[in-house]
Homo-oligomer: A and B are copies of this chain.
Amino acid sequence: MAASNAKCTRLTGSLVKQLLDSIDSVLFDCDGVIWRGDQAIPGAPDVINLLKKNGKRVFFVTNNSTKTRKMYADKLATLGFNASEEEVFGTAYCSAMYLKSVAKIQGKVYLVGSNAMKQEIENVGIQTTGVGPDPISGVQIDWANVSLDPEVKAVVVGFDQHFSYMKLNRALQYLCNPSCLFVGTNTDTRLPLEGGKAVPGTGCLVKAVETAAQRPAQVVGKPSNFMFDCVAKQFGLDPARALMVGDRLDTDIMLGTNCGLKTLLTLTGVSTVADAEDHLKSGCPNRAGMVPDYYIDTIAELLPALQG
C-alpha cells in the first residue's frame, strides 16, 4: 500500500506483478518505447503479445501525425507485434475524430499537414484542400487577398515538411474569420532522432500559426485529454485500471496524470529519471503531473512477470 502512494518508484520485483494485476489496459507510446526508428526495442514484441495473452487490452498512442492507422499497423506487424489498426491512435486519426465527433465540422479543412492526415480526415467523410508545396508569388497585398475556399470551416496544423510562409499566410487568412476552427495535432517542439540529433517538431508550426492568428489552437495530441478520451470512448476504458507507458514526461506521463491513469516511464527514449526527480523535488503543482508513478529501464523488464 505504501508503494502505491510513492511516486517515481523503480518498477521491480513483486511490484511488477502488483501493477499488472491492478490494470486491464495498457497504452503505449511508440517511438522510444516499443521501437526506436525502424528497430523494435528488444523484447518489446513479446511484452505486447504476452500482455494480450494475459487478457490485457493494448493500445498504441502516438503524437506522430505523418502516418495513418494502417501504416502503423503495417509497421507493428513487420516488427513482430500482434496488433490491429483499431488499436492505433495517432494524431492524424485523432484529429479526424475530433473534427467529426467533437467539432462536427460541416465543410472543408484547410490542412497544413501530411498525406496521412489528408487520408484520415477524408476517411471520416471530411474534405480537405489538399497537401504539398504552396509557393509564394506577388507582393504583400496579393498574399492578403490570396484565393480562399469558402467551404473551409477549420484549419488543422500537423507536421508538414512543406510548411512555408504562404501556408502560414493562408492559415491566417482563414483564421481571421472567428468562426473558423483551429486545431493542432500536437505541440512537440522537436522530433528526436538517433544519435542525439533532432529536427523541428509540429509545435514550431502550431506556434507560428497561433502567433499570426492571435489565438490558441485546440490541441488533440498528448498531453491533451482528447487523445485518451478517444480510446476510452471506443473501448469503454476505466482510467483507474489503465496504465500509460511512455518515454516523455511532458507528453506521455502528463497525459496519464491528466486522465487519472497509472504511469510508467521507460528509459529507452527522451526523458531520464533525473528529469522526473527534478519535477518531483520542484514542489511545483504544474510539474507534479510530469512525475511518473514508476520507471523502468526498458519495457523488456516486464517479461519475467508476464511469462511466470
- CA distance in complex: A95, B11 (Å): 53
- CA distance in complex: A180, B161 (Å): 25
A81 within 8 A of B: no
Determine whether the beta carbon of A211 is less than 8 Å from that of B191.
Answer: no
A260 within 8 A of B: no
Distance in Å: Cβ of A302 to nearest Cβ of chain B = 29
Write the chain B residue with the least CB distance to A163.
B165
Q: A136-B161, A208-B205 are in contact. Are A141 and B193 (CB under 8 A)?
A: yes
- CA distance in complex: A228, B214 (Å): 27
Determine whether the beta carbon of A168 is less than 8 Å from that of B212.
Answer: no
Q: How large is the interface on A (under 10, 10 to 19, 20 to 34, 35 or more residues)?
A: 35 or more
Distance in Å: Cβ of A6 to nearest Cβ of chain B = 31
Q: Pick the residue among B169, B197, B207, B214 that contacts A141 (CB under 8 A).
A: B197
Q: Pick the residue among B194, B199, B214 that contacts A189 (CB under 8 A).
A: B214
Distance in Å: Cβ of A49 to nearest Cβ of chain B = 29
Distance in Å: Cβ of A275 to nearest Cβ of chain B = 14
Residues of B within 8 Å of A208, CB to CB, are: 200, 204-205, 207-208
A164 within 8 A of B: yes
A-B pairs, top 8 by smallest CB distance, nearest first, are A144-B197, A200-B212, A208-B208, A163-B165, A204-B211, A204-B208, A207-B211, A204-B212
